[in-house]
């Protein structure tokens, strides 16, 4: 590995023990993956925030970092936490969890990381630019940054994205290199995909079949950011796919080298149905609806509001929407929030159904339009989830 | 005595007894950082302690927060002596570096077959070898 003088000094401990460890971590991961140099990153998105997912061990790590009083050297944003930082009691979060969660956020804040607490930083103004090198760790955000924006990031872990945020570097391997961004499989999309849940089903189907392989989707007519985020999130959850191309839509698709394509597959109506059938598990009464995996945009929230029309939610069913605090500061969002609350819909920010403990613990039968959410909520086998389109969900739970 | 060539990820020369997990290990949710005990009920090593053993496993799985668990093991003085995997991945590399636990891998052979629980091992990262003395 070639290191600049500055990087060598960081590794040698001239800037303290913590910086040396974090640099060593990036160098070693790079060496194992064949990198020959480190490259500067523009920004970092850091996972490992919810107390549910990091547990007690994170505090020992924070102790090591705070001894050297380290700070991030590039703009850095946090992934969702385990609760809405204001309305946590309303979610059913217990006091001791809330206390631990606040401590974790404070520690990240001390390092200069912005507490955006969202998996969709690109929806709150932090849109990556084409060709930029990043160190992002939330898997759906990684896939959107690579595919929709043409930026370059590997699927980092919580620790490695934090190491990059602090040192300002990542190792030059994987998706940072053009030759590793080429598609290997063409997917002809024959099934009709209109609803967000259809995009999600397509992503889930592909990821499950072709773990880790970059696809090139053909025959997808429309794509907006909200559809692409559903597609990417599901593919990352079921198959760790971190990059993809959509013909005529994503920025690299036009010029990407197609000579490595080894297989063409078709996504038919029957494949789509198979995914919906797999997540058609609720036999009894629905307890909770969860929307917002990944976090909702303003357009998503508008669509939820308009789909309700004059109807409200039926007695005994809860309807939770997850978004980011920053998005809800918008005046239009505040109006929508009031309108939705009148219908019985709750919008929680800073968290989601996957990283908050209360969804899995307190609600057995859950409806969602996200295959990623369905995947994580059913993984432990304690919850039943049905995957439906937003309009079908609202039709079923309102009156 | 059998000798095996390995790749060194984190340096250190140690001698100890092997504990072999035949299946991938999730450090987060699968190992208790306070006690060093394997808590994954699907793992045949369920209830065994990693502490002061040379822990051998095919690969890791699960959350990347697993790195913090490995670090936690060392802070709580219940860490394994060393780690041996078939292929070093980000989760374990990050954890082993933070915790300063010797870590080697062997990409051309299944270490969980060539090494058995109870074998006496010497890991020598200056020569990139493991010496295996059968149980």
Whether the predicted pLDDT of A211 surpasses 80: yes
- Residue A208 confidence (pLDDT): 94
Query: Do A233 and A168 have their domain in common?
Result: no
Closest CB from B28, B95, B97 relative to A24: B97
d(CA B104, CA B93): 10
Among the listed ranges A54-68, A148-162, A271-285, A384-398, which one has the minimum average pLDDT value?
A: A54-68
A158 touches chain B (CB under 8 A): yes
Whether the predicted pLDDT of A215 surpasses 80: yes
d(CA A123, CA A165): 20
Look at the alpha carbons of A224, A300, A92, A200 in this order and tell me if their dihedral is positive or negative. Answer: negative
Compute the average pLDDT of residues A321-348. 95
Which residues touch A284 (CB under 8 Å, ≥6 apart)? Answer: A365
CA dihedral A358, A159, B30, B108 (to 10 degrees): 140
Residue A62 dihedral angles phi and psi, to the nearest 5°: -60, -40
Closest CB from A57, A60, A160 relative to B90: A160
Q: Whose CA is closest to A59, among A96, A103, A115?
A: A103
Query: Do A137 and B90 lie within an 8 Å CB cutoff?
Result: no
B104 touches chain A (CB under 8 A): no
Give residue B108's pLDDT band: very low, low, confident or very high (50, 70, 90).
confident
B12 touches chain A (CB under 8 A): no
A142 touches chain B (CB under 8 A): no
* Percent of chain B residues topping a pLDDT of 70: 99
Cβ atoms A151, A181 nearer than 8 A: no
Domain that holds residue A215: 182-277
- Residue A222 confidence (pLDDT): 85
Query: Do A54 and A190 have their domain in common?
Result: no
DSSP symbols for A179-245: GGG---EEEEE-S---SHHHHHHHHHHHHHHSTTPPEEEE------HHHHHHHHHHHHHHH-----E
Count other Cβ atoms within 10 Å, centred on residue A20. Answer: 17
Chains A, B: CB contacts under 8 A, how many?
79
Whether the predicted pLDDT of A144 surpasses 80: yes
Whether the predicted pLDDT of B63 surpasses 80: no
A213 touches chain B (CB under 8 A): no
Query: Among the options B63, B67, B74, B114, which is catalytic?
Result: B63
Q: Where do we find the tokens 């219940």?
A: B78
CATH of the domain at A206: 3.40.1060.10
Where a domain ends, among A178, A204, A224? A178
Compute the average pLDDT of residues B52-76. 90
CATH of the domain at A100: 3.30.499
Compute the average pLDDT of residues A200-217. 96
- Residue A45 confidence (pLDDT): 98
A24 touches chain B (CB under 8 A): yes
- What's the pLDDT tens digit per position in B71-86? 999 999 999 999 999 9
Compute the average pLDDT of residues A383-389. 96
Compute the average pLDDT of residues A303-321. 95
Query: Do A262 and A289 have their domain in common?
Result: no
Query: Do A29 and A58 have their domain in common?
Result: yes
B114 touches chain A (CB under 8 A): no
Chain A residue numbers with beta carbons less than 8 Å from the beta carbon of B69 are 55, 57
Query: Do A55 and B91 lie within an 8 Å CB cutoff?
Result: no
Average pLDDT in chain A = 96
Query: Do B98 and A32 lie within an 8 Å CB cutoff?
Result: no
Whether the predicted pLDDT of A373 surpasses 80: yes
- What's the pLDDT tens digit per position in A78-103? 999 999 999 999 999 999 999 999 99
Compute the average pLDDT of residues A160-187. 97
Give which of B11, B34, B65 to mutate to test A binding, by max A Cβ within 10 Å. B65
Compute the average pLDDT of residues B40-49. 92
Compute the average pLDDT of residues A218-235. 95
Q: Which pTM does this prediction carry? A: 0.92
Query: Do A191 and A142 have their domain in common?
Result: no
Query: Do A120 and A169 have their domain in common?
Result: yes
Q: From the CA atom positions of chain A, what is the Rg in Å? A: 21
Q: Where do we find the tokens 């994205």?
A: A161
- What's the pLDDT tens digit per position in A330-341? 899 999 999 999
Give residue A281's pLDDT band: very low, low, confident or very high (50, 70, 90).
very high
* Percent of chain B residues topping a pLDDT of 90: 74
Q: From the CA atom positions of chain B, what is the Rg in Å? A: 13
d(CA A304, CA A325): 18
B101 touches chain A (CB under 8 A): no
Look at the alpha carbons of A136, A140, A143, A146 in this order and tell me if their dihedral is positive or negative. Answer: negative
Chain A residue numbers with beta carbons less than 8 Å from the beta carbon of B28 are 53, 55
Whether the predicted pLDDT of B7 surpasses 90: yes
Q: Which residue of A has its CA nearest to B67?
A: A159
State how far residue A111 is from chain B, nearest Cα, in angstroms: 17
Q: Which two tokens stand for residue A246?
A: 């959509």
* Percent of chain A residues topping a pLDDT of 90: 93
- Residue A82 confidence (pLDDT): 98
State how far residue B123 is from chain A, nearest Cα, in angstroms: 19
d(CA A176, CA A132): 9
β-pairing, B54-57 vs B82-85, is parallel
Helix (H, G, I), strand (E, B) or coil at B5: strand
Query: Do A15 and A120 have their domain in common?
Result: yes
Compute the average pLDDT of residues A130-155. 97
Give residue A40's pLDDT band: very low, low, confident or very high (50, 70, 90).
very high
Whether the predicted pLDDT of B62 surpasses 80: no
DSSP symbols for B50-117: -TTSEEEES-B-S-TTHHHHHHHHHHTT---SEEEESS--HHHHHHHHHHT--EEE-TTS-HHHHS-T
> Of chain B residues 15-34, which have a CB less than 8 A from chain A?
28, 33-34
Cβ atoms B94, A21 nearer than 8 A: no
Chain B residue numbers with beta carbons less than 8 Å from the beta carbon of A24 are 97
Task: Report cis status (omega within 30 of 0) of the bond before A294.
Answer: yes
d(CA A200, CA A235): 8
Query: Do A188 and A68 have their domain in common?
Result: no
Query: Do A41 and A155 have their domain in common?
Result: yes
Q: Where do we find the tokens 């060093």?
A: B36
Query: Do A127 and A23 have their domain in common?
Result: yes
Compute the average pLDDT of residues B96-106. 94
Query: Do B9 and A137 lie within an 8 Å CB cutoff?
Result: no
- Residue A329 confidence (pLDDT): 94
Closest CB from A29, A60, A63 relative to B94: A29
Whether B74 is a known active-site residue: answer no
Compute the average pLDDT of residues B6-26. 95
- Residue B40 confidence (pLDDT): 87
Domain count, chain A: 3
- Residue B107 confidence (pLDDT): 80
Closest CB from B69, B76, B94 relative to A25: B94
Query: Do A47 and A130 have their domain in common?
Result: yes
Output the 3-class SS for A314-357. Answer: CCCCEEEEEECCCHHHCHHHHHHHHHHHHCCEEEEECCCCCCCH
B55 touches chain A (CB under 8 A): no
- Residue A57 confidence (pLDDT): 86
Q: How many CA atoms lie within 13 A of A178 on its CB side?
A: 8
Domains in chain B, please, with CATH?
2-133 (3.50.30.10)
- Residue A87 confidence (pLDDT): 97
């Amino acid at each position: 590995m070639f290191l600049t003088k500055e990087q060598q000094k960081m590794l040698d401990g001239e800037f303290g023990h913590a910086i040396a460890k974090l640099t060593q971590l990036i160098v070693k991961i790079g060496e194992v993956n064949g990198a020959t140099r480190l490259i500067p990153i523009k920004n970092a998105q850091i996972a490992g925030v919810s107390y549910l997912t990091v547990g007690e061990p994170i505090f020992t790590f924070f102790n090591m970092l705070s001894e050297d009083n380290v700070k991030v050297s590039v703009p850095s944003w946090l992934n969702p936490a385990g609760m809405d930082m204001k309305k946590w009691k309303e979610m059913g979060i217990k006091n001791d969890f809330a206390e631990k969660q606040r401590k974790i956020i404070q520690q990240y804040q001390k390092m200069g990381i912005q507490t955006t607490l969202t998996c969709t930083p690109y929806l709150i103004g932090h849109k990556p630019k084409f060709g930029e090198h990043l160190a992002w760790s939330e898997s759906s955000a990684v896939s959107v940054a690579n595919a929709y924006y043409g930026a370059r990031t590997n699927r980092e872990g919580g620790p490695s994205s934090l190491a990059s945020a602090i040192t300002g570097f990542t190792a030059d391997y994987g998706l940072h290199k053009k030759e590793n961004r080429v598609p290997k499989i063409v997917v002809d999309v024959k099934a009709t995909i209109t609803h967000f849940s259809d995009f999600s089903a397509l992503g889930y189907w592909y990821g499950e079949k072709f773990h880790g392989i970059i696809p090139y989707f053909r025959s997808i007519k429309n794509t907006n950011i909200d559809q692409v985020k559903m597609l990417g999130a599901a593919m990352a959850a079921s198959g760790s796919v971190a990059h993809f191309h959509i013909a005529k839509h994503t920025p690299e698709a036009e010029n990407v080298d197609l000579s490595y394509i080894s297989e063409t597959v078709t996504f038919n109506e029957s494949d789509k149905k198979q995914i919906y059938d797999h997540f058609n598990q609720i036999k009894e009464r629905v307890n909770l609806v969860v929307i917002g995996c990944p976090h909702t945009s303003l357009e998503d929230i508008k669509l939820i509001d308009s789909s309700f029309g004059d109807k409200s939610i039926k007695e005994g069913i809860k309807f939770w929407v997850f978004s980011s605090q920053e998005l809800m500061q918008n005046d239009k969002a505040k109006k929508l929030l009031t309108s939705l609350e009148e219908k019985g819909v709750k919008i929680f920010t800073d968290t989601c159904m996957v990283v908050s403990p209360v969804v899995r613990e307190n609600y057995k039968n859950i409806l969602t339009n996200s295959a990623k959410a369905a995947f994580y909520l059913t993984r432990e086998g304690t919850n039943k989830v049905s995957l439906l389109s937003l309009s079908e969900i609202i039709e079923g739970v309102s009156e | 005595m059998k000798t095996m060539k390995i790749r060194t990820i984190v340096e250190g020369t140690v001698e100890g007894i092997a504990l072999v997990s035949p299946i991938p290990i999730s450090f987060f949710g699968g190992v208790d950082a306070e006690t060093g005990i394997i808590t994954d009920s699907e793992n045949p090593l369920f209830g065994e302690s990693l502490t002061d053993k040379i822990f051998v496993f095919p690969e890791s799985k699960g959350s990347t927060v697993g790195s913090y668990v490995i670090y936690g093991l060392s802070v709580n003085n219940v860490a394994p002596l060393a780690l041996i995997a078939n292929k070093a991945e980000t989760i374990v590399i990050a954890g082993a570096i933070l915790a300063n636990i010797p870590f080697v891998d062997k990409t051309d052979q299944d270490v969980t077959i060539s090494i058995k629980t109870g074998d006496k091992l010497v890991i020598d990262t200056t020569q990139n070898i493991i010496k295996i003395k059968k149980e």
